Amino acid sequence: MRIAAIATVLTLTLAPGLALAECNWGKMDQHASVTCADGKTWDATAQACVDTMS
């Protein structure tokens, strides 16, 4: 009984932190500000500056 209680307490203690980490995981890959040279634009799929099609 004591082991089950300790496991439950640990699970309930760690779950919110793990959920928060999962929610913020994708945000680390986003760039706050990307500056490309003239005639180029940011392509999120390629993660690079690409020539602008006209």
Residue 3, pLDDT above cutoff 90 = yes
User: Residue type at 3?
Assistant: I
pTM attached to this predicted model: 0.37
Give the end-to-end CA distance of the chain in Å, rounded to a whole number.
70
Report yes or no: 22 and 35 within 8 Å, Cβ to Cβ.
no
Average confidence score pLDDT of the chain: 78
Residue 44 pLDDT: 81
pLDDT of residue 8: 92
The 10s digit of each residue's pLDDT in 42-52 is 888 888 899 88
DSSP 30: S
